[in-house]
Amino acid sequence: MKASLLTAALLTAAVAASHAQTTNTAEPKMIADGVGAKYMRVEKMHQVRYIEIFLAVREAKTGKLIAACYNTMFTTNGIPVSKNTASQELVQGLDFAKMKQEYGVLGASLNGPKLWLPDWTEVDSGVVREFNGIKAAWVAQLNMDKGGAVSESTPYKPFTIARKSGVGWNKGTTVLLLDDAEGNTWIMKGFQLGLTPKYTYEEFISAGQDQFKKLPPGWKFRVKTLDKDLIETPEGGVATIMPDEFFNVYDKTGPGMSNYKP
């Protein structure tokens, strides 16, 4: 599993095959992991290593395909001094076929490992589950039947996702930006490491725009040190996000998304 978009695509394929045989199964208990989720704010998150686990099921009432998302950064353990919430050894040992059977779900998938680039995050955190010794908390539910599902994403093509969480970058933090041909600025939120990293975060920054081979005409990559706090709170609880060709993930900035465009 090289990256979040690829693994999500595999998830969808696996779900389609499984659904043909299990259209009337009862909902697994984990479907309620977001009930009673509690608000939490986490600080000192810049460059924290994390993963997300997606467990996909069909809602009994609607028949819609949904995926519960579990994130390793939002457990009661907090952020460790090492800033590593998902060790390479444990991530490599994840068995998604076993996970699928254990939780009684139609599909299981991995996002990451990645580095989280905002300095702080506000999120509703639900039930904490353990995957091969890795603890991860429920943080979101994705509707996989609607347009814009992760599996349908292509590099540099924006899509929307329901998200109430707020994120922020502090004054003095170095951020990675993409300016598109229409004048929009996108800020990198998740830096893709993957199971077999090709470069470090520092090496990626040093390589600059020259490493981008599929960047659309008129687009530019730049690195900036913020001269004031950047706060992102998606208007109406809907965020506009976008992947690049390296499976890094960006959020749109400006009106409706953040307090200013960097």
pLDDT at residue number 14: 36
pLDDT at residue number 43: 95
pLDDT at residue number 153: 65
For the stretch 71-110, pLDDT in tens is 999 998 899 999 999 999 999 999 999 999 999 999 998 9
pLDDT at residue number 180: 97
pTM: 0.83
Give the chain's residues under pLDDT 50: 1-24, 146-152
CA–CA separation, 119 and 106 (whole Å): 35
- What is the full DSSP assignment across the chain? --SHHHHHHHHHHHHHHHHTT-TTPPPPGGGGTTTT-EEEEE---TTEEEEEEEEEEE-TTT--EEEEEEETTSSTT---TT-BSS-HHHHHT--HHHHHHHHT-SEEEEEEEEEE-SSEEEEEE--EEEETTEEEEEEEEEETTSTT-GGG--TT--EEEE---EEEE-TT-EEEEEE-TTS-EEEEEEEE--SS-SS-HHHHHHHGGGG-SSPPTT-EEEEEE-SS-EEE--GGGEEEEEE-TTS-EEEE-STTTBSS--
Would you list the domain boundaries of the chain? 4-150, 153-252
pLDDT at residue number 18: 35
262 touches 243 (CB < 8 A): no
For the stretch 203-236, pLDDT in tens is 999 999 999 999 999 999 999 999 999 999 988 8
pLDDT at residue number 64: 83
